[in-house]
Amino acid sequence: MTFEIKPGKVTVYIGSHKLVALEGNAEREEPSILRYASLKNPEGFDGGLVSNLEKAAESLENLMTLFDKDWRIKNLRPFVVLGNRKLKTYEFSSSQYYQGLERTISPQEIRSVVAQTRSVATLPLSEFILQAIPESFLVNDTYNIRNPLGLEAYRLGVTLKLYTMSFQDFKNLSKTFESAELEVAGYFPKTLTVSESVLNEEEKDEGALLIDVADDGIYLVLWNEGRLVGTRMLEIGGRFLSGQIAGQWGIEPHDARKVKERYGSLNLNSDFGEELIPLVERNGKGNCQVRRRDFHAKFLEQAGGWLAELLKQCDSFLAENRSSHPQYIFTGGGVAFDGFLEFFQKYSNQEARIGLPRKIEAATELLVDPSMNGALGMYRWFSLHMPEREKFFAPKGFFEKTIFSAREWFSAYF
């Protein structure tokens, strides 16, 4: 699939508790967001996945109408960024030999070896490929070549990063867009785009563990020597803490999440005196009140246990990938608590920071919201990587385009 880059690219982000539509200009190195609209807790979605197809399509239509009332007339084709617990990453390699006849590497050869690698990748049958991204190329006996175009070769190989999700869950998401009569230009996982939003090249080279805390899970994304080393999804996202609150105070999970968002704090020096907070609110009135300082003390205890488990699993992930002492970069809606970094330092001496968008122009409320990094990172991807991808895969000139079209037709019908 090839993509055309123009001003006004539209992106739809499906997160744990929100739908967001954005329009941005990605023609410059520093993209700019022109406008956006969002829906919180959209009906038909749960944790970024479809729970009710009809209601999900209706929510998507409501979002697009809020974003642009003429969206149907304009026939917008959004890129879709997915944030859910079903995202996975795999790596596969293969190569092609040219039987003693040296070739000049063109987009045709690159397309061929990428297609071959995708076809021989032994993915679980339950997985659907969202994106196949060339990480590096092999030319003859030389590894880790970034751009092989124009080189002479007897052998061309590629290492692909395959970003996937559960086929059935993807099918439900794609049906939602079909029901809303929205043609999608491409699906991208948040595990790919969030890195582009918050990491700089030095961090990618020296080693960085991106810890994206969402409500449905925590996404670990490890970089070293300029390449994505591996990813892992942990089942201890923000929902875990909500469950701890629900169990401690005997309230429903949806009420616990509201209490956590409104009153949860990791500030170690807070003094709330005799302030009372409602654990349950109905019709604008609170009941089942507790002293906030009691709630805060218990919340710090619960968060300490959660963080200890997170650090344990991060250590296991780093050991598995033979990586040591990367910088920790936290992002996602689950790190928006007051005092998060100071609380982290209580349990770890690891260097860490909160990851916010870099080199992108947008409204302040977007730039200070760590849950928006996946969506904003799509525009960094447009700016930095899509031109190279077009160069690798798009046929050039009338003759090559004709041959490419003929091969596509032949592959489709024979």
**110 lies in some domain:** yes
**243 lies in some domain:** yes
CATH code (residue 289): 3.30.420.40
Both 340 and 245 in one domain: the answer is: yes
**28 lies in some domain:** no
Q: What mean pLDDT is predicted for residues 395-405?
A: 48
**262 lies in some domain:** yes
Q: Per DSSP, what are the bridge partners of residue 24?
A: 9, 33
**57 lies in some domain:** no
Per-residue pLDDT of 66-115, as tens digits, reads 999 999 888 889 999 999 999 999 999 999 999 878 899 999 999 999 99
What integer pLDDT is reported at residue 243 of this predicted model? 93
Q: What mean pLDDT is predicted for residues 210-222?
A: 93
pLDDT band for position 311 (cuts 50, 70, 90): very high
**208 lies in some domain:** no
SS (H, E, C) the chain: CCCCCCCCEEEEEECCCEEEEEEEECCCCCCEEEEEEEEECCCCEECCEECCHHHHHHHHHHHHHHHCCCHHHHCCCCEEEECCCCCEEEEEEEEEECCCCCEECCHHHHHHHHHHHHHHCCCCCCEEEEEEEEEEEEECCEEEECCCCCCEECEEEEEEEEEEEEHHHHHHHHHHHHHCCCCCCEEEEHHHHHHHHHCCHHHHHHCEEEEEECCCCEEEEEEECCEEEEEEEECCCHHHHHHHHHHHHCCCHHHHHHHHHHHCCCCCCCCCCCCEEEEEEECCEEEEEEEHHHHHHHHHHHHHHHHHHHHHHHHHHHHHCCCCCCEEEEECHHHCCCCHHHHHHHHCCCCEEECCCCCCECCHHHHCCHHHHHHHHHHHHHHHCHHHHHHHHCCCHHHHHHHHHHHHHHHHHC
pLDDT band for position 28 (cuts 50, 70, 90): confident
**244 lies in some domain:** yes
Per-residue pLDDT of 347-367, as tens digits, reads 898 889 999 898 899 999 999
Both 161 and 255 in one domain: the answer is: no
| Residue that is last in its domain, among 352, 379, 406 | 352
| Residue that is last in its domain, among 113, 148, 166 | 166
Per-residue pLDDT of 120-179, as tens digits, reads 999 999 999 999 999 999 999 999 898 999 999 999 999 999 999 999 999 999 999 999
**99 lies in some domain:** yes
What integer pLDDT is reported at residue 283 of this predicted model? 53
What integer pLDDT is reported at residue 99 of this predicted model? 82
CATH code (residue 129): 3.30.1490.110
Averaged confidence pLDDT in the chain? 88
What range defines the domain where residue 135 resides? 88-166
What integer pLDDT is reported at residue 272 of this predicted model? 84
pLDDT band for position 185 (cuts 50, 70, 90): very high
Counted domains in the chain: 2
Mean pLDDT lowest for which of 11-25, 137-151, 281-295, 348-362?
281-295
| Residue that is last in its domain, among 138, 166, 194 | 166
